A and B are shown apart, each in its own frame.
Chain A
């Protein structure tokens, strides 16, 4: 049974009033302040309900339609048409008992109309002796079409997965992938996406239109790739989700709710993806990473909005629901990695298991060697070390250093090395960290990166080399673009200078 049909939600509808009352009651029960009853309220309620239903249903509506019409652009139009029909009808007729099914039925009808029109057109053209390729080919005629429509509500999960892979297809630019993912899977409007990325609405609209055209022109198949291709494409999907997350995380607070909402959206999509692709360790790794990072949101800024660094954060303000979920997702990642890949390749194409020590990675490896951790699992592992420590002092820096070493092998980068240097210094003392930092000094990528001299200055100060520390911290202060940070760095540089003077005068200070 479809539960919502057999057991009506809410109070039974009274005669004539239809189901709109049930919804209106639900809203009124929440204590809506503007109690001026009447048509306006009912319309507003219906409007809110339609927004909410759209958010819940749009992705699978589009995904299901795209499988039939083989064109995400057309599928989105058909779904939008159904939405417009809802906007016209629901304020009068009331929100139907099963709004998702209503939208699906309406969209199906439009799909049939659209395909039949094309079919008629094709036949006419054939009669005239021409040939025409129609996107809906294969599902285009008579009973075949009906069968395809009947199957529409099965395999919804598969359809969604296809939609994810299509929206994140490499023929599209990164910006286009991000916009299309938010649009097709998140149900966000062009306006909302524009606000979130601080981009003009027309730019985003252009991007989306062009992306859909590119997909159609390139005849990108609506499918989940197989074999080697899957690993590459999955990496693109994960990258898009993490980009969306970071865009929101970089601006956790602020006047515009849309940007922080991106974090929540990326998390939601990540959780959906984890359900769709439960056998992919990196997917769970990314979800774990995002859950744990998001858990710190409430502790990342101080009372006057100043950023609070990880080790200085009040861990009581971390969100323990999200931490628990993140740690659970990481466990799922490790379990998935321990299982032999079922008909698909590992998510990370990197060869060779990174040597991360005996306690990193899954404990049991029943059936074949576990898949080596990829970048998201490793970063989630690092985040988990912080999340598990009740105080900053309890942090397992040895493990973090090992995870950074593995990360440096999977995705080599000077920034990762710099992180590893910090972890090494925390685990084995400032000298161990400094040795690595000194190797990075000549790294061109880090030439103007203020955190390099900042870290180096820190380590030098800890080693008592105050004069050098002063020079490095001053340099860092000159490089940062953040005023608060500059002030902090200058204060620390000054402290080093004072210590240097103190050290130079025997018996002084």
Chain B
């Protein structure tokens, strides 16, 4: 199952202040650890909301508001996308982030590759042929 670990923005990230060097090093090591464990799928840091915009909808009409946005603690400053076997494992990884302070939030991602939660209804999906068997017909594939 996949979890997105969302990093909350704070005044400093919103001000575009980059983390100190030792923090960057620590984060690099943490990211390496995620990679070497085979759990990291993706991850990015986001630039301050000054450089973003918000589109709100009302009665089917879209209104664009340019950043920055005031509510720093509710904004997102970055994310990791990890593939783990349980929520507890995701939590374990999150507790290892070398942050001094701040907050991250874990959200499970809808994912058709884990349990039949996505487009396929639970229990309705039947067994499928192996890729080897599936291959030859009009669908050559690896």
A297 partner, pick from B86, B87, B93, B112, beta carbons under 8 A? B112
Chain A: interface secondary structure?
Answer: helix
Contact with B along A420-436 (1 / 0, CB 8 A): 10110010000000000
Establish whether residues B91 and A27, one from each chain, have CB atoms under 8 Å apart when the complex forms: yes
Interfacial residues of chain B within 67-112, with CB under 8 A of chain A in the complex: 81, 83, 85-89, 91-100, 106, 111-112
- Of residues B39, B92, B116, B120, which shows the largest number of chain A Cβ atoms within 10 Å of its Cβ? B92
In the complex, A429 Cα to B3 Cα: how many Å?
46
Cα A503 to Cα B142 in complex, Å, equals: 38
Interface bits B103-133 vs A (CB < 8 Å: 1, else 0): 0001000011111101111111111111111
In the complex, the answer to whether A400 meets B125 with C-beta atoms within 8 Å is: no
The answer, among B37, B125, B133, B141, for a CB contact under 8 Å with A310, is B141
Chain A window 1-15, contacts with chain B (Cβ cutoff 8 Å), 1 for yes, 0 for no: 101101101100000
Known contacts A260-B113, A289-B142, A418-B136: A250-B128 contact under CB 8 Å: yes
Q: Is A152 interfacial (CB-CB < 8 Å)?
A: no
Minimum C-beta distance from B87 to chain A (A):
7
Interface positions, chain A 243-297, Cβ under 8 Å from B, are 246, 249-255, 257, 260-261, 263-265, 267-272, 275-276, 289, 292-294, 297
Cross-chain contact B41 with A311 (CB below 8 angstroms):
no
Which residues of B have CB within 8 Å of A321?
41-42, 81
Contacts of A379 in B (CB 8 A): 142
Q: Which residue of B lies closest to A48 (CB)?
A: B88
Question: Is B61 interfacial (CB 8 A cutoff)?
Answer: no
Stretch at the interface among A299-307, A365-373, A493-501: A299-307
Do A254 and B139 touch (CB < 8 A)? no
Contacting pair A415 B135 (CB below 8 A): yes
Query: Are A298 and B119 in contact (CB-based, < 8 A)?
Result: yes
On chain B, the residues within 8 Å of A6 by CB distance are: 26, 98
Query: Is B66 an interface residue when CB atoms closer than 8 A count as contact?
Result: no
CA distance A271 to B35 in the complex (A): 8
From B93, B123, B138, A309 is in contact (CB under 8 Å) with B138
Could you tell me how many residues of chain A have their Cβ less than 8 Å away from some Cβ of chain B?
Answer: 86
* Residues A219-262 near B (CB distance < 8 A): 246, 249-255, 257, 260-261
Known contacts A52-B88, A301-B125, A294 near B113 by CB under 8 Å = yes
How far does the alpha carbon of A485 sit from the alpha carbon of B134 in the complex, in Å?
A: 11
Shortest distance between the CB of B108 and any CB in chain A (Å) = 9
Taken together as a complex, chains A and B put the C-alpha atoms of A150 and B111 apart, in Å, by 42
A1 CB contacts on chain B under 8 angstroms? 22, 26
Closest to A3 in B: B98
Q: Is A419 an interface residue (CB 8 A)?
A: yes
B134/A422 in contact, CB under 8 A: no
Q: Decide if A304 touches B88 in the complex (CB within 8 Å).
A: no
Q: Which A residue sits closest to B139, measured CB to CB?
A: A310
Q: What are the residues of chain A within 8 A of B134 when measuring CB–CB?
A: 307, 309-310
In the complex, the chain A residue whose C-beta lies closest to that of B136 is A451
Looking at chain B's contact residues, the main secondary structure is loop
Judge if A49 is at the interface, Cβ distance under 8 Å.
yes
Interface size, B (range): 35 or more
User: Is there contact, CB below 8 Å, between A52 and B98?
Assistant: no
Residue of B nearest to A99 (CB): B92
Across-interface contacts of A482 in B (CB, < 8 A): 129
In the complex where A56-B93, A253-B125, A255-B123 touch, is A415 in contact with B136 (Cβ < 8 A)? Answer: yes
> Which residues of A, 17-55, contact B by the 8 Å Cβ criterion?
22-23, 26-27, 30, 48-49, 51-53, 55
Asked if A207 is an interface residue, CB under 8 A from chain B, the answer is: no
Cross-chain contact of A250 among B86, B129, B142 (Cβ < 8 A): B129
A90 on the interface (CB 8 Å rule)? no
Chain A residues near B29 (CB, 8 Å)?
A: 3
With A310-B134, A382-B140 given, is the CB distance from A48 to B85 under 8 Å? no
Interchain residue pairs with CB less than 8 A apart (25): A3-B26, A6-B98, A7-B98, A7-B99, A9-B96, A49-B91, A49-B92, A55-B89, A246-B131, A250-B129, A252-B128, A253-B128, A261-B85, A268-B83, A272-B36, A275-B38, A309-B138, A319-B111, A319-B113, A382-B141, A383-B142, A426-B140, A451-B133, A451-B135, A458-B138
Known contacts A301-B126, A454-B136; can you find 18 more A-B pairs with CB under 8 A? A4-B95, A7-B100, A9-B95, A23-B91, A49-B92, A52-B89, A250-B127, A250-B131, A264-B114, A268-B83, A272-B37, A272-B38, A297-B112, A310-B139, A317-B112, A419-B135, A452-B136, A455-B137
| For the complex of A and B, 5 pairs with smallest distance between CB atoms | A298-B112, A253-B125, A3-B98, A271-B38, A310-B139
